[in-house]
Every structure is written in C-alpha cells, then in structure tokens.
A and B are shown apart, each in its own frame.
Chain A
Amino acid sequence: EAQLVESGGGVVRPGGSLRLSCAASGFTFDDYGMSWVRQAPGKGLEWVSGINWNGGTTGYADSVNGRFTISRDNAKNSLYLQMNSLRAEDTALYYCASSSGSYYKLGYFDYWGQGTLVTVSS
C-alpha cells in the first residue's frame, strides 16, 4: 500500500529557511505527480506547490512563489520543499500528496502523508 512520510518540520524564526522531505513507498513514485498542501492551525486546506513525474514542470501558489522551491529525486523516491524567507503566515501542517496521474495539475490527491508541522515564530 502507498505510504508517504513527511519530515523536516520545526520551529524557525521569521526570515529563516527550512527543507521538508517526503519519503514515498508502496507505489511507483516516478510515475506520479506530487504536491505539497498545507493547513494552518484551525484553518482549511491550501495547495502550496506541485511537480510533474519527471520534475520537468513545477507550480506554486502565489503566496509562496519566489520563496519556496519544490523538487524530487526519483532515485530516492523522495519529494522536497525548500522554504526560504519564512513568514508567520507560513505556520501550518504541511502534507505531501500524490496525484492520480503523471501531472500534478490533473486528477486528484489519492494518497496523503500524516504531515509535518512548521512553526514560524520569533
């Protein structure tokens, strides 16, 4: 069965950086697009970024564009999110989620990790 396990969250000061990782298993990772979705405490879901199966195409929400970078290493079955210039409003639980197809824009999120918490605070 597919499994996604996020790591790398923690407490960081405003303006700081953090790198999240997501380890995938139980499915052919390099066949599928992947995304990061976040949820601020007590709030709804927000798509953050997505990447196609081969890493050739990426996309970002306006709120993180220019500050966050998504990447993947298919040889390691891993997804990453480099987060720079962090702000208080980036505080959230960050989920990695797999798309139902090769392109992150299409389809739906069929598998989700348990999330990793990022807290931006001075």
Chain B
Amino acid sequence: DIQMTQSPSSLSASVGDRVTITCRASQRISSYLNWYQQKPGKAPKLLIYAASSLQSGVPSRFSGSGSGTDFTLTISSLQPEDFATYYCQQSYSTPLTFGGGTRVDIK
C-alpha cells in the first residue's frame, strides 16, 4: 500500500498569511494526487486534482504543485473560510489512500 504522510499535522495562522501544506508519498505516484478540504460536520470538498489542477469554483488562492513523491498545497492569502482540515489522496494505485490530515486553525 502507498502511505501518504502530511506535514504539519496542524498549524495556526492568521488571516492573510501564506500557508503551505506538504504531502509525501511512500513511492512515486506521478501526478495522481488530489487535495480536499473538510470543515467540521461537513463532507470533504475537492480542491485540487492531478496535483495542480484547480477544481471548478475553487478560489484561485489555492494552488497545488509537485510530482513523484513530494507535493504541496498552498493557500496564498488565508481567508476566514479557509480554516479547516486538509487531506491529500493518491489515486495511483489501490487501495486508494489519504494522508492523515492537516488542521488549519486561527492563531
């Protein structure tokens, strides 16, 4: 199975900050990497697919990069509605696996 490791597991940031979350795969997965946002009591929401493609309707302050084993989700200017937990997920092989999540809360 491919293990997905996110770092940090949590972070505190202020509105307007630039935030970077890292996801590392235990083996090369090309660009088969997706990012989701989950708010408390809600279903996950797709943000980025194929490592760097922005899902329709998602604000442009979200961006993704990377390939192979190392990937990054960046929020260029954190907004109040961005406080949530973020998950990466690989779709390179089954079983499909998620990272452990990164909780972003208010400093």
Contact = CB atoms under 8 A, between A and B. Distances in A.
A71 to B, nearest CB: 18
Contact of B95 (A44, A61, A107, A112): A61
Interface in B38-56: 38, 43-46, 49-50, 55
A112 B98 contact: no
Nearest to A109: B46
Interface residues of A, number: 23
B89 A108 contact: yes
Contacts of A108: 34, 46, 49-50, 89, 91
Given A106-B91, A109-B34, A35 B44 contact: no
A50 B96 CA distance: 9
Which interface class (under 10, 10 to 19, 20 to 34, 35 or more) fits B? 20 to 34
Most chain-A CB neighbours within 10 Å: which of B44, B49, B55, B87?
B44
Q: Which of A35, A95, A105, A108 has the most CB of B within 10 A?
A: A108
Contacts of A100: 49
B97 to A, nearest CB: 7
Given A108-B34, A108-B89, A35 B96 contact: yes
B91 A105 contact: yes
Nearest to B6: A44
Interface string A85-115: 0000000000100001000011111101111
B60 interface: no
A109 B101 CA distance: 16
Given A37-B44, A105-B96, A109-B34, 17 more contacts: A44-B87, A45-B38, A45-B44, A45-B87, A45-B89, A47-B96, A47-B97, A50-B96, A59-B95, A62-B1, A95-B43, A100-B49, A108-B46, A109-B89, A112-B44, A112-B45, A113-B43
30 contacts: A35-B96, A37-B44, A44-B87, A45-B36, A45-B98, A45-B101, A47-B89, A47-B95, A47-B96, A47-B97, A47-B98, A50-B96, A62-B95, A95-B43, A95-B44, A100-B49, A105-B91, A105-B93, A105-B94, A106-B91, A107-B49, A108-B49, A108-B89, A108-B91, A109-B36, A109-B46, A112-B43, A112-B44, A113-B43, A115-B43
